[in-house]
Amino acid sequence: VCVLEEDGDEIKIGTSCKNGGCTTTFEGPSSDSDVCSYHAGVPIFHEGMKYWSCCKRKTSDFNTFLSQEGCTKGTHLWRKKDEGKKVVPCRFDWHQTGTQVIISIYAKNAVPELSYVDANSTTLHIQSIFEGEKEFEQKISLWGVIDVNKSVVNMMAAKIEIAMKKAEPMSWARLDLPPPVPPPKESEQKNDEDESEEDDED
C-alpha cells in the first residue's frame, strides 16, 4: 500500500519519519496530520554522555537517549530531499589489549564507497553511510598516540571495527581526551595581580 506525494513519489506504508528522534511510521494519509515531535539538532556523544545538541538532556544510557521525546513540534518528513542523509545515533563501544585499541561501531550494512575513517596519530574522524540512507559521524581526540600505518578498518555486515595500533604499549585510561580548559583572559589575570598587590600593601 502506498500514497502518492505531490511530486509523484510514493510513500509506502511503514515508512519511518526522517526527522531525528521521531519513531513514527507512515500508516496512511491521516499520518500527515499528526504532530511530529523531533529533535532539530544533531546527536552528540561526549565523555560517555549522549545528548541532542538542541536540548542537551544528557544520559549515559543509549536506550534512554533513543527514547528521549523530541523537543520540537512540526510535521513529519517521510522522504528526505537529495541534499542530505539522515544523521542518526549509532551505538559504539571500545576495548583495548596490550598493543591495540579496538572500536566497534554497530552500523549494519555500511556502504564502503560512502564510508571512511580518517586518522592521524592523535585524532580520529569516522563517517559512515549505512542501511541505505542513515549517516553516522564522530570525531574523537584520542587519549593516547596511535601508529596509523599499522591500524586497520574492517567493515562487516553488522558493524565497523577499527583496530588502532598503540604507538606505545601502555594502558589507556579512556578513549578520548577531555576538552581543553581555556586559559584565563589577560584582563582576569591582571585583576588577580592587582588584588594580590593590594593584599601585600595591607
Q: Domain boundaries in the chain?
A: 2-75, 90-166
- Residue 11's pLDDT is 80
How big is the CA angle at 174 (ends 170 and 176), to the nearest 5 degrees? 110
CA distances from 37 to 4, 46, 75, 86, 90 (A): 24, 24, 8, 16, 20
Give the class (CATH, top level) of 90-166.
mainly beta
Give me 162's grid cell. Answer: 577499527
Tell me the backbone φ, ψ of residue 33, rounded to 5 degrees.
-90, -10
For domain 2-75, the question of CATH label 3.40.50.2300 is answered with no
- Residue 108's pLDDT is 84
pTM score of the predicted model? 0.49
List the chain pLDDT tens, one digit each, 202 residues.
334 444 446 788 888 888 888 888 888 888 888 899 998 877 776 666 778 878 888 888 877 888 888 899 999 888 765 445 567 778 889 999 999 999 999 888 887 767 888 889 999 988 888 876 788 888 899 999 999 989 998 888 888 999 999 999 999 999 998 776 666 665 555 555 555 555 555 5
